């Protein structure tokens, strides 16, 4: 029987459910040692299928985040060759990170050659790639790329966005959840609180930031 959202706080929380939420977060983000330690401490059954490729995913993301994108692409191909072959958008975004690394290293000639040989062929496929290439090429017009109107392309947020997309694509390839149980729980909580806030006297919309401050 469905429970009135107003009575959620009265429902007892199952410890196994909490443990599963925490473990899914650790596995999703490739915290292998933490996952194994958590499983050992809680006595949970080790989900071998989830842990199998975690170390490989971790190496891929480390290389992508630390400026060795070409190695990340190579390792992704070794993990599953068709992951990038069937995803032009993701491959372009990864290659664009390498272009950004070259620009930030002031290797402008090498960056230009890379754009011509690796990025330009995408423009033949779809116009959207040409628009993206123009944005990246504008970085070359500034000795200090931070002064470029497209400076967000060299920021950590853009890189993290691409790496997260790669992570989700790999997970989906192996039929694993692309979002953690914690993310889904927060999304569901936000929707429920939003609906209740529209009623007279209902609680305010859920804010993770405010929730964490209250702990």
pLDDT digits 0-9 by tens, 4-14: 555 556 566 77
Q: Tell me which residue has tokens 């006595």.
A: 43
Q: How far apart are CA 205 and CA 186, in angstroms?
A: 12
Q: Is 12 exposed, middle or buried (0-12, 13-18, 19+ CB in 10 A)?
A: exposed
Question: Are 163 and 64 spatial neighbours (Cβ–Cβ below 8 Å)?
Answer: yes
Contact 173, 60 (CB under 8 A): no
**Structure confidence by residue, pLDDT tens digits, 131-178:** 999 999 999 999 999 999 999 999 999 999 999 999 999 999 988 888
* Contact assessment for residue 71 and residue 63, using Cβ atoms and an 8 Å cutoff: yes
Express each pLDDT in 68-113 by its tens digit. 999 999 999 999 889 999 899 999 999 999 999 999 999 999 999 9
Chain position carrying tokens 């596995």: 27
- How far apart CA 31 and CA 55 sit, in angstroms, is 9
Q: Which residue has the tokens 């060299």?
A: 154
Tally of helices (H runs) and strands (E runs) in the chain = 13, 0
Cα–Cα distance measured from residue 124 to residue 14, given in angstroms and rounded to the nearest whole number: 54
Report the sign of the C-alpha dihedral through residues 23, 29, 35, 36, in that order.
positive
Q: Is the pLDDT of residue 57 over 50?
A: yes
Spatial separation of the C-alpha atoms in residues 176 and 24, rounded to whole Å = 10
46 pLDDT higher than 90? no
What is the Cα–Cα distance from 203 to 122, expressed in whole angstroms?
A: 49
**Distance of alpha carbon 133 from alpha carbon 116, whole angstroms:** 10
């Amino acid at each position: 029987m469905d429970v009135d959202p107003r009575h959620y706080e009265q429902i007892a929380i199952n410890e196994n459910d909490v443990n599963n939420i925490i473990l899914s977060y650790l596995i999703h983000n490739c915290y292998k040692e933490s996952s194994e330690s958590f499983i050992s401490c809680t006595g949970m059954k080790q989900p071998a299928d989830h842990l199998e490729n975690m170390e490989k995913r971790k190496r891929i993301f480390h290389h992508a985040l630390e400026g060795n994108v070409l190695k990340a692409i190579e390792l992704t191909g070794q993990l599953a060759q068709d992951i990038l072959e069937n995803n032009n958008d993701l491959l372009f975004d990864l290659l664009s990170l390498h272009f950004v690394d070259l620009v930030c290293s002031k290797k402008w000639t090498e960056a230009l050659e890379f754009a011509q040989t690796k990025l330009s062929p995408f423009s033949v496929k779809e116009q959207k790639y040409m628009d993206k290439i123009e944005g990246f090429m504008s970085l070359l017009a500034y000795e200090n790329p931070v002064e470029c109107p497209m400076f967000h392309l060299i920021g950590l947020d853009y890189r993290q966005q691409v790496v997260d997309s790669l992570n989700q694509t790999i997970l989906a390839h192996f039929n694993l959840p692309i979002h953690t149980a914690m993310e889904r729980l927060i999304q569901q909580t936000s929707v429920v609180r939003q609906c209740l806030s529209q009623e007279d006297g209902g609680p305010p919309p859920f804010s993770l930031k405010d929730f964490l401050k209250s702990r």
